[in-house]
Amino acid sequence: MSPRTVPFALLVLTLAAGCGEEFSPGEARFGVDLLVDKAVAADLSAFQLAVLPNGKERNCTEIQKQCLSLQVKANELLILRDGQGTQGRVLRFPVNLTGSGVTSQDVAIEVPVGRDYALVIEGLSQDNPPRLLGSSCNYLPEVNASRNDPILAAPMTLLSVDCNPTIGG
């Protein structure tokens, strides 16, 4: 199977700054609303989120063709934090989908304030070790400490690549 865009596996990134708990100075909180078709959800175990600097230099189409773990070194990724204070270069969120038909899951991440980033969201399979089920790569031109415009994430590209997408934090 060749990579293809799957509209029903759409991932949507929306702003949640100003909501929820306090966050550290120099970081902006984003809410990520993950929308997934129930048929695809059966194979998912987790979503893995990572942010790369120098987003304009990245080719999102190429990034989505294989595991990010094969394309970058862990120390290239920005340090992120989730809503519970867990910190790492990669944040994983176990699948906890709600709804029927198209299901959703809300997660929150804190991203360092800055410019020119690429957000990569990977869907991990339930296999051990996990396989990459799909990837979404999105340009973040600017992340402000105050108000940020909502960002609509690119549709997830479904893959048939046999690679382990996990990246050590």
Q: Residue 128 maps to which CATH number?
A: 2.60.40
Is residue 165 domain-resident? Answer: no
Whether residue 120 is contained in a domain is answered as yes
Domain of residue 125, residue span: 4-158
Task: Give dist(CA 101, CA 53) in Å, integer.
Answer: 35
What stretch of H or E contains 66? none
85 in a structural domain: yes
3-state helix, strand, coil in the chain (%, to 5): 10, 45, 45
Question: Which residue carries 């759409």 as its tokens?
Answer: 10
> Is residue 163 assigned to a domain?
no
Contact between residue 28 and residue 18 where contact means Cβ atoms under 8 Å apart = no
Residue 64 or 3, more confident: 64
Instruction: Identify which has the larger pLDDT, 4 or 143.
Output: 143
- Indicate whether 27 belongs to any domain: yes
Using only C-alpha atoms, the chain has a radius of gyration, in whole angstroms, of 15
Residue 127, domain member (yes or no): yes
Q: What's the pLDDT at 133?
A: 87
- Is the backbone peptide bond immediately before 155 cis, with ω within 30 degrees of 0? no
pLDDT in tens, 118-144: 999 888 888 888 988 888 888 888 888
Count of domains forming the chain: 1
For residue 12, being part of any structural domain is answered with yes
Q: pTM of the predicted model, to two decimals?
A: 0.77
pLDDT at position 159: 74
> Residue 86: is it exposed, middle or buried by C-beta count within 10 angstroms (0-12/13-18/19+)?
exposed
Q: Note whether residue 164 is domain-resident.
A: no
